[in-house]
Amino acid sequence: MRIIAGKARGRGLIAPKAKVLRPTTDRVKESLFNILDAEGKQFLDLFAGAGSVGIEALSRGASRVTFVESHRACAEAIRTNIKRCGFANIPLNGIEEEAGPDIEVIEYSVDRGLKLLGHRGQQFDVIFADPPYEQNLIGETLRLIRTQRLMSQDGVLVIQHSAREEIPAGREGYQIEDSRRYGETAVSFLRLKRSEGKEHSRSGDRSAGPDG
């Protein structure tokens, strides 16, 4: 794995020997960032693995990147890769004194991480999710992103998934704007339906915290 473009172009990334890890290929990542503009964006990397996609966003000028990854070895690899790529603000779960304002690693399951971010009132311009293939995780992830109001009004949600999996976009309040296939992998680009986007722009009560 490597960083393709930007400040950290060419830097190699480490990956733990973990069965849960399925790195996004350079081909998919390059295509993804040919479509997405990361410059100045608030970027959320879910099921982050070793952090390849989120660190690519940092390299390309994202103003803030938050990683959510529950596997301890993968979370440690993210922190190591951030250092290897020369980014100064190194987080350790966002609570240590060294933690900077631009980068955070949340070592939680994705459902707990999304509830935590929702409780804080955070929103993101780009949300990237790469859940384990064919484990029925996509629908619940879409639901939590919407109900926790984590997407900015013009935000985009990108799901990397098995080409055999269907995205329950309409049922969860989204519309699919584009979808690309790379062998057995597909990448789908979603936005909130117009009525949902308007609802997200209103102030209102948040859902319960990360354990609620």
pLDDT in tens, 8-27: 999 999 988 766 677 788 88
Q: How far apart are CA 127 and CA 184, in angstroms?
A: 22
What ranges do the domains of the chain cover? 27-200
Q: Is the per-residue pLDDT at 199 higher than 90?
A: no
Sheet holding 185-192, edge to edge: 103-106, 64-68, 42-46, 124-129, 151-162, 185-192, 174-182
The proportion of the chain whose per-residue pLDDT surpasses 90, expressed as a percent, equals: 70
pLDDT in tens, 34-70: 999 999 999 999 999 999 999 999 999 999 999 999 9
In the prediction, which pLDDT does 196 show?
57
The CATH fold assigned to 27-200 is Rossmann fold (3.40.50)
By mean pLDDT, which of 17-21, 80-84, 118-122 is the weakest? Answer: 17-21
In the prediction, which pLDDT does 200 show?
56
In the prediction, which pLDDT does 208 show?
42
Residue partners of 18: CB distance under 8 A and separation at least 6: 71, 73, 74
In the prediction, which pLDDT does 1 show?
84
Supply the pTM of this predicted model. 0.86
How confident is the prediction for the chain on average, in pLDDT? 86
pLDDT in tens, 133-163: 989 999 999 999 999 999 998 999 999 999 9
Contact 146, 139 (CB under 8 A): no
> Which pLDDT band holds residue 102 (cuts at 50, 70, 90)?
confident
Q: Is the per-residue pLDDT at 210 higher than 90?
A: no
